[in-house]
Structure 1
């Protein structure tokens, strides 16, 4: 097992916060940061509590369905809650959903009546959940910050290691914050340290930051690690706006593709017995049998590879079409929820009055209404929404399947 030292620093007033303190976590698998704010509190079972529960309970499905990131708000005035969830790029949707779900539940449990909460857990992969009573979307926030590092020292040449490490982190920051980069806001890379050991590093910013702010956040995290923990075998820096981690072993499934074995070089043909050369004569020209083999064999291999790829692509297209047909056949009635006609909904929301608007998401506005004597929330698909009717129905089906005391079925 590896011993980790944890350092936390902050300029914010946070629960049980000391300027600097240390404690040891045994086992490198324990990597997480979680904090509740102390600048505001709410009454349990209040509207803020209800809105927080609704928003955090929907994060896991929304984050996994939208490529690993989702942010939204719910409520009005002092009851309004802002929340976001994020997984590392390329994470399996199911694994991402599980990580966000775990972080959401842990945050609610740890912060029972605080108006702000932040969690950076690692459950197979690294993910983040954050909520607040103030809008933080698009804002660069460097504090609170948390630093964990391995207590084991680097055993290789330290000068060479530092040069390799600095080149790696600098290159990754440039790649994650360049406007021309394909992988904006994210970088995961490995470089060989010794013939038997690599350096693995990961960086990520919340994608609602500007690239300039992402650059500032990542550079500050790298500088903080260097000033605190240079010479140790790995570590991680958490912030509300970004995360930076490096180790001498792979982590968070971020390097699975990078660790795939390289293709083997083509095996050379053995020499002919007795070094004899066979030739085929045509008129005055002679062609070596080795040359014929060297031309024919690669041609046949290339043809077989292209043919296999064509079969695979056709198979995938047919499978995708089948999935699309299957998905398009799902209707809201398949889940047997309560259904109301439009006139009933319109009356309950007072003709969709603006004074009943309590939030807004990707599909449109959310209205407060009373149905059958119960206060409920009604989401209406907006004509200006970038989402379509099919996505809207899928979310309705998902909500109908959820079990929660604040959801009306």
Structure 2
């Protein structure tokens, strides 16, 4: 029952008789539209994507259909059949496209494979009206997730140019997302399309709990609930160690910013690297070597030196090495799922 209700309402429909002109269903062009729309559901259901063309100019009609990569063959065919009937009933434009959550279908008087100009649409879904409390941090996670999915989908055609994944945003919140391209475009075209869609996604939905952008050749979506049906494996994307700058108080008036990655080895590198000019640190000037000694030390093999004494001053507070530095500090975990061709 829920599935039927979803199909009853398309996400978005483009049907402009003003822009493309209209047709009569009884005309040769209209008959070809009917054939294309009735053919696509059956020839697409087993593969998830297909295209076809009927007739000769000026009555030629081309069409293509795409189902979301996780839906079953029967669900794909049902979705496309309903979409085709919707277009035949409500649209008399010479070019039209309709999107549902699980499928989309497109016909045109033009060659569809040459229509690579991106034109994203933002369906106004009620579930996307809620805002998040920390939009900047939230969308950083969304973008991290979607960028990784986009690379996987665009560069690995064996995955049907479709990718889903999830990333842990907080202890009790997980972000789920998917990206998909139609399989009639090249890898670089897919990547460009997805990049444009992600720009639109940020514009419409960076502070929302969900968002979706649909277009002719690619779609992107994220939600705070799992809306797709795929098995998945876990991939962890750790935050690079040492990239978090921490403030440490000193006995001086200022605050020092230290990178923990550097502090782990500061003792050895700081003293060892300064051996020839040990005088930089000695409190008593009499203990500082002469420049001739420095020249000799730099030009010769390593020599034994006295243990450095208390420095006259210090601008760096030595921080003990973090014994847990080998552990993963990242709280972000991402699940990416891939589908094999059916």
* TM superposition score normalised by structure 2: 0.61
Is the Cα contact below 8 Å between 1:146 and 1:239 reproduced in 2?
Answer: no
Match of 1:145 among 121, 127, 146: 121
Question: Per-residue CA shift, 1:84-129, capped at 9, x if unaligned?
Answer: 1110124210000000001111111111x2111100013xxx1010
In 1, the alpha carbon distance for the partners of 2:119 and 2:136 equals 31
Residue equivalent to 1:295: none
State the aligned residue count. 224
1:115 aligns with 2:86: no
Residue equivalent to 1:164: 141
Secondary structure of residue in 2 paired with 1:148: coil
Gaps in structure 1 of 5+ consecutive residues: 1-26, 261-409
Residue equivalent to 2:33: 52
Q: 1:132 to 1:31 in 2, by over 3 A?
A: closer
**Larger relative contact order, structure 1 or 2 (CA cutoff 8 Å, min sep 6):** 2
Q: 1:199 to 1:95 in 2, by over 3 A?
A: same
Is the Cα contact below 8 Å between 2:66 and 2:103 reproduced in 1?
Answer: yes
Alignment of 1:257-406 (within 5 A): 257-258=231-232
In 2, the alpha carbon distance for the partners of 1:195 and 1:182 equals 34
Match of 1:40 among 7, 21, 33: 21
Is the Cα contact below 8 Å between 2:68 and 2:103 reproduced in 1?
Answer: yes
Deviation at 1:208, TM superposition (A): 0.3
Gaps in structure 2 of 5+ consecutive residues: 1-5, 235-342
Secondary structure of residue in 1 paired with 2:45: helix
* Structure ID, larger Rg: 2
Match of 1:173 among 150, 161, 175: 150
In 2, the alpha carbon distance for the partners of 1:141 and 1:87 equals 21
Stretch deviating more after TM superposition (163-172 or 139-148): 139-148
In 2, the alpha carbon distance for the partners of 1:76 and 1:181 equals 32
In 1, the alpha carbon distance for the partners of 2:160 and 2:62 equals 24
Residue equivalent to 1:100: 80
**CA-based RMSD:** 2.2
